[in-house]
Every structure is written in C-alpha cells, then in structure tokens.
A = this chain, B = another copy of it.
Amino acid sequence: MKSTIPDTGVPIIPPAGNGGDRQEASLHGEILLRLRDYVVEGNIPDGARVPERQLCEMLGISRTPLREALKVLAAEGLIELLPNRGARVRQLSQRDLEELFDVMAGLESLAGRLACEAITDAEIAAIEQLHYEMYGHYLHRDMHGYFQTNQRIHESIVAAARNETLKTAYANFAGRIRRVRYSANFARKRQRWAEAMREHEAILDALRRRATSELSDILFQHLRNKRTAAIEHLTEPQEDSLASP
C-alpha cells in the first residue's frame, strides 16, 4: 500500500467536529466542512496524493459530492488539482507563506481600522480582559494558552470590524496558515515572545484611543514580525522552544 493516508479501515474522517454549532443540510456541504478540517489539521502530508476512491470510502460517499468539495477546496487554495492527476494538498513554498502572512497582515490592519470606527467600550474591555489573561500565560510560560488567547484577541478585533466579508476572508487565509502551523509544529522563539507582548500592549493602547491609522500600522507590523519569526522557524527548526519553565 503506497497510500500516504493512514489505512486503518473505513470511515476515518470524523463527522465534522460541529464545534461551532454549524449545520449543513447537503452532503457535499457536510463533506466540504469535514474535508477542510481534515486538511487544515494537517492529517494529510504536504503534496501527498489523495486518491478520490480512498477518500470516498473514508467518508462513505460516492465520488460526485466529494469532487464538488475538492473543487471548492482548490478554489480556497488549500489543495491543488492537477489535470487528470488528482488532488494534492497544496505545498506552500516559503514565498507562499510570506505572501500569506502579508495578506493576513493587511486584513488585520484593515480590521483594526474598521474596529476603531465601530468598537464599543464593552468590546475593548473584553479584549483587555483577554490581554491580561494572555499576559498570565506569558508569565507562566504557557505557550499553548498564550497562543489560544492570542488568537482570540485577533479574532475579537476582526469581529469588532463588523464586516462579515472580511471575517470570511480572514478565516480562509487563517486556515491556510493554520495548516502549516499544525504540520510544522510552529512555535515562537523566546525572544520574539516578549516582543510580541509589547506589541500587544501597543495594539490595545491604540485601540483604546481609537487611533485608526496608528492601530493599522501597528497591527500590520505585528503580523509582519510574526511572519519573520515563522519563516526563521521554518528555515532553522531546531532553535525553538515549545514549553519550558
């Protein structure tokens, strides 16, 4: 068996986490959600060939809805479809990653701008709360907690922008990056960590003052720095610190 997917029998891919209380009537939609999660979570190696037949067995469906879902995932940029040669998980080059991070930076920068126009004091207070929580994780060197809270902060800013279109685009690009994170076992460097905390202070400060342009700049730069850290991590993956007291 040459297949790159673990071959432990038949249905492997779980019936959609449904963590966000989402529901999808049609089969292809359900399949789409499941497959997307499955790919984003890094269950298929980069560039691995994924025979349709096998996926069909795993999901317990016929090829028609599966192929529809694959086309959509390809449009989203998660996989690529080679003519007559099937679907492959899209292998992101370093350049691709840089581009992705920059686009994310642009979207967050935009989110910051829009948030300044629309955010309520209560929302700012909630973000402050998250900020302190994150600071706690930082002090305790709890990388995982830090990471999650960090993500919630950024999502809160995007939510405060009151723009569903932006939110959707953001989620799409975030998914592509998350896949790399999952599979490459990302972690920030210690040095970068403290810097990131300082940047978050500045973000919060600008947000409080509704300093539109300033926040936009800070958010962009913050993501830019993340990008640099990520690329460095990929280039020399030995020098990371996932958890340490």
Tell me the A residues contacting B by CB distance below 8 Å: 25-26, 28-29, 64, 67-69, 71-72, 74-77, 83-84, 96, 99-100, 102-103, 105-107, 109-111, 113-114, 163-166, 168-169, 213, 216-217, 220
Contact = CB atoms under 8 A, between A and B. Distances in A.
A75 B103 CA distance: 19
Nearest to A166: B103
Contacts of A163: 99, 102-103
Given A28-B71, A113-B220, 20 more contacts: A26-B84, A29-B83, A64-B64, A68-B68, A69-B71, A72-B72, A72-B74, A77-B165, A99-B164, A102-B110, A102-B165, A103-B110, A103-B165, A106-B110, A106-B166, A110-B110, A213-B213, A213-B217, A216-B216, A216-B217
A173 to B, nearest CB: 8
Contacts of A67: 68
Nearest to A170: B103
23 contacts: A25-B83, A29-B83, A64-B64, A67-B68, A68-B71, A69-B71, A71-B71, A72-B74, A77-B165, A96-B165, A99-B163, A99-B164, A99-B165, A102-B165, A103-B110, A103-B163, A103-B165, A103-B166, A106-B109, A106-B111, A106-B166, A109-B216, A216-B217
